[in-house]
Structure formats: C-alpha cells, structure tokens
Amino acid sequence: MRITFAASECVPFSKTGGLADVVGALPGALAQLGHQVSVFVPKYRQTKLEKPTTVLRSVTVPFDDQYRFCTVLDGGIVSGVQFYFIDYPPYFDRDALYGTSLGDYRDNAERFALFSRAVLEASKILGVPDVFHCHDWQSALIPVLLRTLYAEDPAFADVRTVFTIHNIGYQGLFPSDILPLLMLPWDLFTISKLEFYGKVNFLKGALLYSDFITTVSRRYSQEIQTSEYGFGLEGVLRSRAQSIAGILNGVDYNEWCPERDSFIAAHYSVGNLSGKEKDKKDLLRAFGLDDSSELPLIGIVSRFAAQKGFDLISHVADRLAHEDLMIVALGTGDKEYEDLFRRLNKQYPKKLAVKIAYDNSLAHKIEAGADMFLMPSRYEPCGLNQIYSLRYGTVPIVRATGGLDDTIETWDPRNGKGTGFKFTEYSGEALLDTVRLALTAYKDKNSWQQLMRNGMTRDFSWTASAREYVKVYERARMTPKVTVDTTED
Ligand code: ADP
Ligand code: GLC
C-alpha cells in the first residue's frame, strides 16, 4: 500500500512534543511491513536538515487574495521512508513552530491551510497514495479539501483518508472570515460541517470528512466521546463511533533504551542495573543537587500545560517537599507553572530543582537517573514519557487516564505484579497518597527491583501498532467514501 503522512512536526527534523516522536517512528515501522510510505512536514527555521535538494521548485497554492508558491525539498529516504518538506519562508521561517510566549501566530490558519493544500498539489506530481494519514488540526484540512474543492479531481478519485487525533484539546479554531481567503465555500460554515460556536473548527472538519479516525490509546478513544474529555466535539465523535479506533503509540527503542542511549552517563540493562546508580549521580549533579543523597528521586519532563496536571502538584507542593524525596523537573510552558517550580526550588534548594528549558539530552538523563517518574495528567491521549520510563526502570506514578491508564499496571507487592502507581480521582490528596505509597514501596529494595524489572521487560515497540494501522488503512479502502450528514442544517 502507498501511504502519505502529513503532519506539522517529525523527529529528527522538528519537535515540540510526542506528535513528532510518532510521526518520526510509525512510518518506518510501516515501511518494514512492506508498505511504501512518504512523509510531508513544513520546513521551519528550526528544521534540522542537512543539504536538502529541491524536488519541486514551485507548487502553486491559490489563496483568494494572491497565489502562494512553495518549494518542496527532498529530505531523502530514512529507514525506508521518503521525507518531503514544504518550504514557504514567509510562513515557516520563524522563531517558533506555532507561536511565541505572546500566543499563537495570528496567521496559523493560513500557514497550515497552505501546508495542507501544498501536500495535495505536490502529491499530484510526486505520486498520489492510496491513503493520506493526517495528524492533528494542522493537517486536518486535507480530508476536508479532498471531499470539497478536490472532490471532482480524477487524481484523487480512489484516495482514502485516515485522521489521528493526538490531542483533542487543540482544534484549530479561527474566525469564520478565514473561509473565503482559503477559498473554502461558505456552505462549509454550518453546524453539521466546520462551524463550532461561531468559529471555523479545522479538527471538526477532519472528524467529519475523514474515512476513518484513530486516536492514540484505546482508553482515550472512549474518553473523547464523553463531555468530560471531548472538548465539545464528543457529539461529533459519537456520530462516527463506528469509524473510530484507539491504537496505542509505540516507542522507538533505538532512541529510548538504557543499553545504548548516547546521552546518559552509564549504560545498564534488566540483567545488570548497576549503571543506573551512576546515572542518578550524574543527574543530581546536572541539577546542582547533592549527588551522594540516598533519597528517592522523582523526575518530571513535560510541557508545562494545564493538561499535565500541574495544578495538582501546586496544591500539595509544600507537603510533597517535606517528604523524604527529591524532585527534578524539566519543562517549559505556562508561566504560572514555571514560577511554581522556581519558587519551590528557592524554598527547598536541597530537594527540588528545575530547568526551564527544552533539552532532549537532559530528558534522557532524567529517564535514566530518576527512581520514579511523575505524570499526574488531567487528560493524556497516550503519553510517551511513562512508556520510556518503564524501559529505564524508572517507576511511573500516573493518573489513571487515557494512555497512562492503558500502559501502566498497578503494582501489587503481594504477588510482585505490576509496573507502577496510579490514582484516579483528580485531586492533590490522591496524588500525595500515591506518591507516599511509592515511597513506602521504595524502601523494600528487593521488591522495588522486581517492580523495575517488570516495567523494563514490557514491550511497546511499534510493530504491533503499525499492524493495527494497516488494518485501519485497509478498512478505509474497502468502505465507500465518507459522506457528511447535513440533516441538522
Ligand atoms: P505531549 O506530546 O503531550 O507533550 P508526550 O508524553 O506524548 O506528551 O510526549 C512528550 C515528548 O516531548 C517526549 O518525547 C518528551 O521527552 C518530550 N519533551 C517534553 N518536554 C520536554 C522538554 N522540556 N525537554 C525535552 N523534551 C521534552
Ligand atoms: C499528544 C498527546 C500525548 C501523545 C502525543 C503523541 O501531544 O498529548 O498524550 O502521546 O500526542 O501521540
């Protein structure tokens, strides 16, 4: 099968979060199964691309006011996958991918509409796939365009679309007057199509116009069909319940594995854990903490966003700091949470340290050097860090939601089964109780090692999930193209 991915970020070229890890790894796993896969991403200022060549000098993207001409760069073939970059400097040669601390870029609708349309135009020349696999709101217009402006285009007559929701909290909401600029017809602006409380909602468009929808864990696929987790799109999702699947993300163990991680001080494995102690000392030093401390060390690597449950940490932070533990946190994002960690560091300098940064090398050091990893998310579509933590013998403490619930099994000291600690109620008290439970378990060195080993031997590699995606692509190809029900208009 020929599959074309379109997404806004992709490891190793550009990354702000887990989406990039997925788009960097799943295509290779599909190629290994014998499929022909290409990936389109924007060419940002930050894109790490050595000596790209130009494959298409000028792809025309009509906008209502003027044509835009973008270039397609060839990123080469990596792990059997062809990478292409849409280059349009006025939109993508900027300080950041989506926005600055002042907020999102004001022209994000145009930026990613241009990207989406350029992918279609470029595919007409470079090869139309059997399936376009699009990810999150930034490429959500592709399914919409294919069933509207491009509906009569013979080049796309047999194409199907699969859309993956990585995070329904980000929908691509824009004022309605963007439609004419993007040359999208006004009849899309109805409640049964792209309208959402007076705005245009790109993600809603994809949920209606894609042939099949997936999300990144089974639990999250159920949660988003409820009002608590659906961010207003639960009704749309319920109307498509027959065409939704939850497929758990995998992990690229070439990148995240303590036996060969090039960022960490010492390697270790499930058979020989001794290197982990060196990694702990190295990590403590990197954060300016006492490297001879025997206290259990909790790691955090995260976008500092409300989604990740930092309000819970904030509620119980001082009580946490009085426990026999140390905490190292790495992250950037909302000022409120950056300030929280700065304040805690000032108040408890021997126990709690923070780096306000985006630092991949340090993220690896935390995975290897910490004893426990804390992820108390309010919601979590999949979550990757807890899965990395398992492989590093760094025991996850998580809230039982979405992929966190699907990947972590509660530790039971009576039978030695389980991989981590979970709590369900979204409260600081529940978090504190669960951390205390973990601290108690840590005191029994033998059973703690069993717990570490349980996690280290779990396998979340991509192959099984890639096979699930292939089934979804095949199903999308076998069913008639989706039609949008307009009875509510
Ligand atoms: P999300 O995509 O919601 O941020 P995930 O757990 O799926 O959450 O993925 C986050 C990815 O981003 C992981 O690979 C993690 O290591 C990385 N990451 C997040 N914050 C940082 C940071 N401050 N520095 C380095 N890597 C980070
Ligand atoms: C999103 C989600 C995260 C998921 C990642 C990759 O950013 O927040 O839970 O792991 O996408 O699918």
Are both 243 and 342 inside the same structural domain?
A: no
Whether 164 and 279 map to the same domain: the answer is no
Sheet holding 195-196, edge to edge: 173-175, 199-201, 195-196
Question: Quick check: helix, strand or coil at residue 415?
Answer: coil
Residues 295 and 236 in one domain: no
Q: Which residues line ligand 2 (CB under 6 A)?
A: 17-19, 22, 166-167, 216, 249, 380-384, 403
Q: What is the mean predicted confidence (pLDDT) over 183-190?
A: 96
**Cα 456 to Cα 307: distance, rounded to the nearest angstrom:** 27
Residues 302 and 203 in one domain: no
Model confidence band, residue 483 (pLDDT cutoffs 50, 70, 90) = confident
What pLDDT, on the 0 to 100 scale, is given for residue 270?
97
Can you tell me the distance from the alpha carbon of 163 to that of 179, in angstroms, rounded to the nearest whole number? 21
Cα-to-centroid distance, 20 and ligand 1 (Å): 9
Q: In terms of Cα–Cα distance, which of 351, 359, 362 is closest to 319?
A: 351
The Å distance, Cα 17 to ligand 1 centre, comes to: 5
Within a domain: 259:
no
Segment 68-85 mean pLDDT: 97
Domain check: are 441 and 472 in the same one?
A: no
Q: Is the dihedral of CA 359, 360, 364, 367 positive or negative?
A: positive
Hey, what long-range contacts does 123-126 have (CB within 8 A, 24 or more apart)? 123/4, 124/153, 124/155, 125/56, 125/59, 126/38, 126/55, 126/56, 126/72, 126/84
Position 232 pLDDT exceeds 90 = yes
What is the atom index within ligand 1 of the atom nearest the CA of 380?
Answer: 3
Structural domains counted in the chain: 2
Mutate to test the pocket of ligand 1, among 385, 399, 401 (most ligand atoms within 8 A of CB): 385
**Mean pLDDT (whole number) for 400-407:** 98
Q: What is the mean pLDDT of residues 163-182?
A: 97
Q: Is 21 in the pocket of ligand 1 (CB under 6 A)?
A: yes
Q: Is residue 256 part of a domain?
A: no
pLDDT band at 101 (very low <50, low <70, confident <90, very high): confident
48-52, 90-94, 318-322 — which is least confidently predicted?
Answer: 48-52
Indicate whether 242 and 159 sit together in one domain.
Answer: yes
Indicate whether 485 belongs to any domain: no
Whole-structure pTM value: 0.96
Distance 363 CA to ligand 1 centre (A): 8
Output the pLDDT for position 168. Answer: 98
Atom from ligand 2 closest to the CA of residue 380: 9
In a domain, 281, yes or no: yes
In a domain, 265, yes or no: no
Phi, psi of 298 (to 5 degrees): -100, 130
CA pair distance 430, 425, nearest whole angstrom: 6
Residue 114 pLDDT > 80: yes
Does the pLDDT value for residue 126 go beyond 80? yes
Going by pLDDT thresholds of 50, 70 and 90, the confidence category of residue 39 is: very high
Residue 378, domain extent? 274-459
pLDDT of 21 higher than 80:
yes
Answer yes or no: is pLDDT of 488 > 80. Answer: no
Which of 122, 156, 159, 119 shows the shortest CA–CA distance to 139? 119
Q: Are residues 215 and 322 in the same domain?
A: no
pLDDT of residue 484: 85
The angle that helices 428-443 and 310-321 make with each other, rounded to 10 degrees, is: 50
Angle between helices 335-347 and 310-321 (to 10 degrees): 0
331 CA to centre of ligand 1 in angstroms: 8
Residues 447 and 473 in one domain: no
CATH of the domain at 34: 3.40.50.2000
User: In the prediction, which pLDDT does 139 show?
Assistant: 98
Ligand nearest the Cα atom of residue 338? 1
Q: Where are the beta strands (DSSP E) in 157-198?
A: 160-165, 173-175, 195-196
Q: How far is CA 300 from CA 69, 304, 310, 362, 373, in A?
A: 43, 10, 11, 11, 6
Tell me if 255 is assigned to some domain. Answer: no
Say if residue 487's pLDDT is above 80: no
If asked whether residues 443 and 472 sit together in one domain, one would say: no
Q: Which of 5, 16, 19 to mutate to test the pocket of ligand 2 (most atoms within 8 A of CB)?
A: 19
Residue 382 lies in a domain: yes
Overall average pLDDT of the 171-180 stretch: 97
Q: What is the pLDDT averaged over residues 124-146?
A: 98
Q: What's the pLDDT score for residue 7?
A: 98
E strand or H helix at 224: none
Q: Which residue CA neighbors atom 10 of ligand 2 most closely?
A: 383
**pLDDT grade for 100, boundaries at 50, 70 and 90:** confident
Looking at the structure, tell me whether residues 125 and 18 fall in a common domain.
Answer: yes
* 269 within domain boundaries: no
Verify that 208 and 292 share a domain, yes or no: no
What is the distance in angstroms between the CA of the first residue and the CA of the last residue of the chain? 37
Instruction: Return d(Cα 429, Cα 94) in angstroms, integer.
Output: 43
- Is the N-terminal amide bond of 129 cis, ω within 30° of 0? no
Kindly state whether residues 313 and 338 are assigned to the same domain: yes
Mutate to test the pocket of ligand 2, among 301, 384, 399 (most ligand atoms within 8 A of CB): 384
Look at residue 486 in the predicted model and tell me its pLDDT: 74
E-strand stretches of 305-452 = 326-333, 352-356, 372-375, 395-399, 421-423
